[in-house]
Amino acid sequence: MSDLMESRPTTASAVDPSRVVQAIRSVVGDRAALHEPEFAGNEWRYVRDTIDTGWVSSAGSYVDRFEEMLAERIGVARVIATANGTAALHLALVMAGVSPGDEVLTPALTFVATPNAVTYSGAVPHFVDSSEETLGIDPYRLARYLDRIGERVDGQLVNRNTGRPIRAVLPMHTFGHPVDLDPLIEVCERHGIVLVEDAAESIGSYYKGRHTGGIGRIGALSFNGNKTVTTGGGGAVVTDDEELGARAKHVSTQAKVPHRWEYVHDAIGFNYRLPNLNAALGCAQLEQLDGFLTDKRRLAERYAEAFMAIPGIRFFVEPPFARSNYWLNAILLDEPDLAQRDAVLGATNDAGLQTRPVWRLMHRLPMYADAPRDSLVVSEAIEARLVSIPSSARFGR
Ligand SMILES: *Cc1c(COP(=O)(O)O)cnc(C)c1O
Give the model's pLDDT for residue 2: 41
Query: Which residues 6+ apart lie within 8 Å of 33 measured at CB?
Result: 354, 390, 392
From 201, 203, 230, 274, mutation site for ligand 1 pocket: most ligand atoms within 8 A of C-beta: 201
- How many C-alpha atoms does 315 have within 13 Å on its Cβ side? 24
pTM attached to this predicted model: 0.95
DSSP label of 394: G
Within 6 A (CB) of ligand 1 lie 84-86, 89, 110-111, 113-114, 172, 198, 200-201, 222, 224, 235
DSSP states of 146-197: HHHHEEEETTEEEETTT--BEEEE--B-GGGPPP-HHHHHHHHHHHT-EEEE
Give the model's pLDDT for residue 6: 43
Rounded Cα gap, residues 379 and 358, in angstroms: 10
From 135, 224, 226, 325, mutation site for ligand 1 pocket: most ligand atoms within 8 A of C-beta: 224
Shortest-distance atom of ligand 1 to CA 201:
15
> Tens-digit pLDDT profile for the chain (397 aa)?
344 444 444 454 689 999 999 999 999 999 999 999 999 999 999 999 999 998 888 778 999 999 999 999 999 999 999 999 999 999 999 999 999 999 999 999 999 999 999 999 999 999 999 999 999 999 999 999 999 999 999 999 999 999 999 999 999 999 999 999 999 999 999 999 999 999 999 999 999 999 999 999 999 999 999 999 999 999 999 999 999 999 999 999 999 999 999 999 999 999 999 999 999 999 999 999 999 999 999 999 999 999 999 999 999 999 999 999 999 999 999 999 999 999 999 999 999 999 999 999 999 999 999 999 999 999 999 999 999 999 999 999 9
Query: Which residues 6+ apart lie within 8 Å of 210 measured at CB?
Result: 75
Shortest-distance atom of ligand 1 to CA 111:
13
Give the model's pLDDT for residue 13: 66
Q: Which domains does the chain have, with CATH numbers?
A: 17-36+289-396 (3.90.1150.10), 43-287 (3.40.640.10)
From 90, 111, 179, 278, mutation site for ligand 1 pocket: most ligand atoms within 8 A of C-beta: 111
Rounded Cα gap, residues 196 and 207, in angstroms: 15
What is the Å distance from ligand 1's center to 117 Cα? 10
Other C-beta atoms within 10 Å of 189: how many? 10
What is the Å distance from ligand 1's center to 310 Cα? 32
Rounded Cα gap, residues 346 and 333, in angstroms: 15
> Is residue 315 classed as helix, strand or coil in its secondary structure?
strand
Shortest-distance atom of ligand 1 to CA 222:
7
